[in-house]
Structure 1
Amino acid sequence: MCRVLTVPNEGLPVQPFSREVLSERYLKAGELGCDDIFRRVSKALASVEEKAAQQTYEALFLKNLRDGAIGAGRIMHAAGTALESTLINCFVQPVGDTVQSVHQARDEAGETLRRGGGVGYDFSCIYPRHAEATEAFALDPCGYIDMFDTACAALAGLGARRGAQMGVLRIDHPDIDAFMQAKRKPGRWTTFNVSVAVTDAFMHACMNDESWQLVHHAKPNKTVQAAGALQRGDGLWVYETLPAKVLWQRLTQSAYELSEPGVLFIDHIQRDNNLRALETIATTNPCGEQPLPPYGCCDLGPLILPRFVRHPFGLAGDATFDFDAFEASVALQVRALDNVLDLTRWPLPQQREEAMGKRRIGVGLTGLGNALTMLCLRYDSDAGRAMAVRIAQTMRDAAYRASVSLAIEKGAFPQFSTHTYFSAGNFASRLPEALQRAIRAHGIRNSHLLSIAPAGSVSLAFADNASNGIEPSFAWQYLRKKRAADGSQTTHTVEDYAWRLFRSLGGNVRTLPSYFVSALDMTPASHIAMMQTMQPFVDAAISKTVNVPENCTYEVFEGLFLQAWQSKLKGFATYRPNDIVGSVLQVT
């Protein structure tokens, strides 16, 4: 049995569904619980160190895993095994502007998916459906996404991990409306999340009630030309001009009814990028927490925040967060994730080349909602957000300091340059002055260091269903649907970790204190406020779903997207339960 090692309640038994997820996804032959997995993973991560230091780091990594610094799912699943799986959760695959390049992208993505990685794509280069007929394209973007979706689903039928993909299209692509409405057809794009790459220019056009052009470099067919298509001075063809607000309403109405598409605020992503002088980012990994260039990867590892809460709920003394222990754990996590890059099997040589040149990693966190509850702080309060800022800032500074130390020991990432790394307005340019001086003097091992993923499966398996990522608790007791390999679903009763802990320590769960606040108890604006609070301290992005009650009016819902852009978020996704999308979680 896997024991939850949370201080001071090591005796709290793990609930059955968490044990089931651990067994099905992570335990290997001969392993009986979490500690066996931790020993396997720590030994593997230490194996890339100098031989004389391997035992030392194996012990350090083992302690850090036990303390709550775990790897993302691929690491915990495959590290230290003979599996040909990658240890990297997600990748971005470039899609070119010829039939040959698209089919190459599909085949390369298939190899990545077969080895356990999820894949994100920008399909904006693909010719619109009303482009002039040439040998260049047989299908439009939606048609090619159908093809990628079918190929991914076929891999699952052959026994591979169920694939996760992200499809992105720019807001100025002529097929953007068909893309946004595609999931109205039941069963379409089941392996894809979809997002629209929204530019600042489009948002300003909406606010100023201006027109918006749908454009592409491909020449339109004669029918579109006869309807008034023209070629701009920059060479792009204008297929259609319409009020920006009309397109905005189509986007937000689809999200209101389908919970998709999400949006990527692509200009802010690029502006904040530490390597914006070297690369252009057009899409993200499937859950949106990691904007990536072509062939980029996300090498992730969250820290379980409830493990750092002392005297939870103030029942045996003042509830406090152990920042010293957290800081030390973050620093060691940087080394562990850096080692993953040298240990993993790479599905494609281009992915290895990209990773070795920049050494991106993503130290993250999970269980924020539970940790705040255990600290007697409401998630939707000023005090709760202030604590979240302090945690995020501590994580940022500890990670960047550790990466500088690694650069002194092992060398900076090969593409590091002080002339470009501190480009005005990017994330690195806002680091504390002492850190900037250290980076200028010694370089830094990893171009990017921070990413907050959903961490759903690892939170279930290794944290006894702690709240995911930066999410608040969904509910204290609820039903969770689980998909089997054959596509069937089973329903399980699960309980929130903080709620279980409060009960086990003698708290009265019939009259919960006011700081027990769930996702459905707070306004959607409060969800956005937490993202706005933490994003300035995260160099990649944050994956978070803003839960919206079913009775939320469209007018209120539409305003959330504007609030997200004004809050300088890098992406935004919503979930509003309804008959079309159904639900994975259901409150009992």
Structure 2
Amino acid sequence: MDQLNHLSPIAQHVWDAKYRYRRQDVVYDVQIADTWQRIAASLAAQEKDSLHWQRHFYDCLQNFKFLPGGRIQAGAGTSHQVTLFNCFVMGTIADSMEGIFNALKEGALTMQQGGGVGYDFSTLRPRGTQAYSVGSIASGPVSFMRLWDSMCATILSTGARRGAMMGTLRCDHPDIEQFIAAKQDRSQLRHFNISVLVTDDFMAAVRNDEDWPLVFPAGEHAGEVAVLLRAWPGYAHPVPCKCYKRVRARALWESIMRATYDYAEPGVLFIDRINQRNNLYYCERINSTNPCGEVPLPPYGACNLGSINLTQFVQDPFTERAQLDMAGIAAIAKTAVRLMDNVIDASHFPLASQAEQAHLARRVGLGVTGLADALMMLNIRYGSKQSLQIAQAVMQTVCHAAYQASIDIAQEKGPFPLFERDKYLAGAFIRNLPQTIREGIVRYGIRNSHLTAIAPTGTISLLANNVSSGLEPVFDSVYTRRVLGRDGDYSEYQVTDYAVAAWRKRQGDESLPPAFVNAHHVSPTDHLQMQAAIQPLVDQAISKTINVPEAYAFDAFRDLYQQAYDLGLKGCTTFRPNPVTGAVLSKVEEAQLTPHCCNLEREAD
């Protein structure tokens, strides 16, 4: 049978619209196997024994055992001048008109090549303050975010890839209250996900019910006002900051929780924890992430993503003998690390600064997808204690195999240029790795500064015949999904979850697997526990949406971000159906408004 016929209708659509290689009317990928072969050959070309690694890479890709990020699948081995990296965090925005528009231009060039972007807007002075050089009054970060939103809509107004951006702002910026409320108007900032950079000091102030100063660097006028010393983006050391006003920390926290309850944003990023646990803590400072939050990055850092499809490693599914092939998962992880390391050398980059950063750190983000389906196939209910144990065991296997693979490649090709052995080994995450891995790093170094991240895998999971996405529970057994086509128009498909379809084929009826549970029936606490179970085994971060029922009481909801902090997470995002992101738009509204980038169809791939 032709391999294309193994794809469901929506998978065929996704492959044809997003990943099938064609130039004008000439089609190069006749079937999905040609796409796998194209990717394998292109990335194996970076190796001395290219034919050997081409075979291994093809085997890794075949039957969707490993799903590289969407930009890799769309661009590797083609003549298109595109980046193979899904997303970037852009450079620090200088607080001047020239700096703002230079940053906007860099974002446009990056999105034109298919990369999503993340920006920290904390460097822009608060609205209402005077721009001394020209005597004008600043309009503030949120007003300039609208420029990026318009740019994104323009750059990506046609074609099969939706725009995605992350915007962050510090919790002590004077415009933080406006930022928190920025997306409550459903016509505003539709291409942005937004997250508040939450510090440990702020969480302590919330806990102790203290006042919280909102500040901004005083610059050359530091001697004219009372100042507080603060670490601030764009500065190597703490700088004098002017206090614009003080608010009750709990009141500000309450406004964050009320906004995310009513409008599904902002998310939170626990930025001190992100930096404290960064493997490159000794040479970089992070202030933003990629659009879906799983890869915190320094200025000009890039996402190089891929996910192991766990459904392909379940042996004897739905039986009492069902188990995961952990040895197979470890083997595919090792091959995947080499494949993704080669992406760095094979890729184009929109900006020279992005290429430099990628080659200095050689970050990769290997994760998993299909977890919820694999659990069903193992007869384990998502959210149960056993499901957390399985997830931990899988991620430990992936993590340790990935680090060992990176050591092996370093022995062959050398470590990443920013590697400083003693400082790297002193990192919080590296200290907790097995002694054998640490000894390998001492002896040979390591090829990649970071190895693991859990991405949402929205589109590539559809390509793999609708396996559950990333770490998420199954959305539903059967539902209707809208997807973009090459012409920029949407098509609707009825899709059946991968494990549900496999169960029904086995049973010959329309019943559901005994362990089936969908996202709407997993409690918010269980969502958090799943994320917390594997965060210690992920050196970067996790894209995870905490689904909250519409009827869920605010008094119960208000503690979710606090729980996330207490559980040691690096960030948190929730979604509760609401008039802005959960309403069905009318035809007139649909023509006028862009879909929110954090709904079911949000894409980073």
Structure-1-length-normalised TM-score = 0.93
Query: Aligned residue for 1:568?
Result: 568
Query: Aligned residue for 1:506?
Result: 507
Query: Aligned residue for 2:73?
Result: 76
Give % identity.
40
Of 425, 428, 431, 2:430 maps to 428
Could you say if the C-alpha distance between residues 158 and 25 of structure 1 is closer, same or farther in structure 2, counting changes exceeding 3 Å? closer
Query: Aligned residue for 2:422?
Result: 419
Of 281, 285, 290, 1:285 maps to 290
Q: Does 1:460 align with 2:462?
A: yes
Q: Does 1:17 align with 2:4?
A: no
Query: Aligned residue for 1:8?
Result: none
Q: Does 1:240 align with 2:233?
A: no
Partners of 1:392 and 1:161 lie apart in 2 by: 30
Q: How does 1:429-444 map to 2 (within 5 A)?
A: 429-444=431-446
Q: Is the 8 A contact 2:17 2:486 kept in 1?
A: no
Q: Does 1:49 align with 2:22?
A: no
Report the residue type matching 1:577 in the other structure: P
| Displacement of 1:254 | 0.6
Query: Aligned residue for 1:553?
Result: 553
Q: Is the 8 A contact 2:89 2:117 kept in 1?
A: yes
Partners of 2:188 and 2:133 lie apart in 1 by: 27
Partners of 2:11 and 2:226 lie apart in 1 by: 58
Corresponding residue SS for 2:308: strand
Deviation by residue 1:154-187 (Cα, 9 ceiling, x = unmatched)? 1113658432110000000000111111111222
Segment of structure 1 superposing worse, 531-540 or 15-24 = 15-24
Partners of 2:160 and 2:58 lie apart in 1 by: 29
Report the residue type matching 1:350 in the other structure: S
Report the residue type matching 1:199 in the other structure: T
Segment of structure 1 superposing worse, 134-143 or 99-108 = 134-143
Partners of 1:69 and 1:121 lie apart in 2 by: 30
Of 58, 65, 69, 1:62 maps to 58
Query: Aligned residue for 2:587?
Result: none
| Displacement of 1:255 | 0.4
Report the residue type matching 2:66 in the other structure: A
Q: How does 1:324-339 map to 2 (within 5 A)?
A: 324-339=327-342
Q: How does 1:101-120 map to 2 (within 5 A)?
A: 101-120=99-118
Corresponding residue SS for 2:68: coil
Query: Aligned residue for 1:7?
Result: none
Of 283, 303, 312, 1:307 maps to 312
Partners of 1:31 and 1:481 lie apart in 2 by: 24
Query: Aligned residue for 1:206?
Result: 206
Q: Is the 8 A contact 1:114 1:161 kept in 2?
A: no
Corresponding residue SS for 2:543: coil
Q: Does 1:257 align with 2:262?
A: yes
Q: Is the 8 A contact 2:160 2:487 kept in 1?
A: no
Partners of 1:332 and 1:468 lie apart in 2 by: 22
| Displacement of 1:153 | 1.1
| Displacement of 1:532 | 0.3
Query: Aligned residue for 2:322?
Result: 319
| Displacement of 1:23 | 1.2
Query: Aligned residue for 1:478?
Result: 479
Partners of 2:379 and 2:74 lie apart in 1 by: 34
Could you say if the C-alpha distance between residues 214 and 585 of structure 1 is closer, same or farther in structure 2, counting changes exceeding 3 Å? closer
Could you say if the C-alpha distance between residues 302 and 563 of structure 1 is closer, same or farther in structure 2, counting changes exceeding 3 Å? same
Partners of 1:2 and 1:464 lie apart in 2 by: 16
Q: How does 1:373-384 map to 2 (within 5 A)?
A: 373-384=376-387
| Displacement of 1:579 | 2.2
Corresponding residue SS for 2:183: helix
Query: Aligned residue for 2:90?
Result: 93
Deviation by residue 1:352-397 (Cα, 9 ceiling, x = unmatched)? 1111111101111110111111111111111111011100000000
Query: Aligned residue for 2:470?
Result: 469
Report the residue type matching 2:360 in the other structure: G
Q: How does 1:166-185 map to 2 (within 5 A)?
A: 166-185=166-185
Deviation by residue 1:52-95 (Cα, 9 ceiling, x = unmatched)? x1111111100111151121100001111001110000101022
Could you say if the C-alpha distance between residues 473 and 23 of structure 1 is closer, same or farther in structure 2, counting changes exceeding 3 Å? same
Query: Aligned residue for 2:497?
Result: 496
Partners of 2:12 and 2:226 lie apart in 1 by: 61
Deviation by residue 1:221-273 (Cα, 9 ceiling, x = unmatched)? 9xxx9xxx843365211111011011001111110111011110101101111
Corresponding residue SS for 2:169: strand
RMSD, aligned α-carbons: 2.1
| Displacement of 1:326 | 0.9
Partners of 2:490 and 2:52 lie apart in 1 by: 45
Partners of 2:505 and 2:511 lie apart in 1 by: 13
Report the residue type matching 2:131 in the other structure: A
Q: Is the 8 A contact 1:479 1:585 kept in 2?
A: no
Query: Aligned residue for 1:352?
Result: 355
Partners of 2:183 and 2:304 lie apart in 1 by: 30
Query: Aligned residue for 2:227?
Result: 231
Report the residue type matching 1:32 in the other structure: V
Could you say if the C-alpha distance between residues 486 and 257 of structure 1 is closer, same or farther in structure 2, counting changes exceeding 3 Å? farther
Partners of 2:340 and 2:377 lie apart in 1 by: 28
Could you say if the C-alpha distance between residues 71 and 488 of structure 1 is closer, same or farther in structure 2, counting changes exceeding 3 Å? closer
Partners of 2:269 and 2:3 lie apart in 1 by: 39
Partners of 1:484 and 1:16 lie apart in 2 by: 13
Q: Is the 8 A contact 2:89 2:118 kept in 1?
A: yes
Partners of 1:383 and 1:102 lie apart in 2 by: 50
**Structure 2 residue ranges without an equivalent (≥5):** 22-26, 230-238, 584-598
Partners of 2:57 and 2:309 lie apart in 1 by: 15
Structure-2-length-normalised TM-score = 0.90
| Displacement of 1:493 | 1.5
Corresponding residue SS for 2:156: helix
Could you say if the C-alpha distance between residues 569 and 206 of structure 1 is closer, same or farther in structure 2, counting changes exceeding 3 Å? same
Q: Is the 8 A contact 2:130 2:138 kept in 1?
A: no
| Displacement of 1:516 | 1.0
Of 268, 271, 277, 1:272 maps to 277
Deviation by residue 1:12-53 (Cα, 9 ceiling, x = unmatched)? x53312221111111121323321110010000111112xx1
Q: How does 1:445-456 map to 2 (within 5 A)?
A: 445-456=447-458
Corresponding residue SS for 1:264: strand
Of 342, 360, 366, 1:363 maps to 366
| Displacement of 1:481 | 2.8
Partners of 1:432 and 1:127 lie apart in 2 by: 46
Q: Is the 8 A contact 2:503 2:512 kept in 1?
A: no
Q: Is the 8 A contact 2:18 2:161 kept in 1?
A: no
Deviation by residue 1:452-476 (Cα, 9 ceiling, x = unmatched)? 1001100101x20100001110110
Q: Is the 8 A contact 2:362 2:449 kept in 1?
A: yes
Q: Is the 8 A contact 1:132 1:219 kept in 2?
A: no
Report the residue type matching 2:30 in the other structure: L
Q: Is the 8 A contact 1:366 1:459 kept in 2?
A: yes
Corresponding residue SS for 2:460: helix
Q: Is the 8 A contact 1:119 1:166 kept in 2?
A: yes
| Displacement of 1:486 | 7.6
**Structure 1 residue ranges without an equivalent (≥5):** 5-10
Q: Is the 8 A contact 2:159 2:485 kept in 1?
A: no
| Displacement of 1:507 | 6.1
Corresponding residue SS for 1:579: coil
Query: Aligned residue for 2:413?
Result: 410
Partners of 2:279 and 2:560 lie apart in 1 by: 28
Could you say if the C-alpha distance between residues 486 and 181 of structure 1 is closer, same or farther in structure 2, counting changes exceeding 3 Å? farther
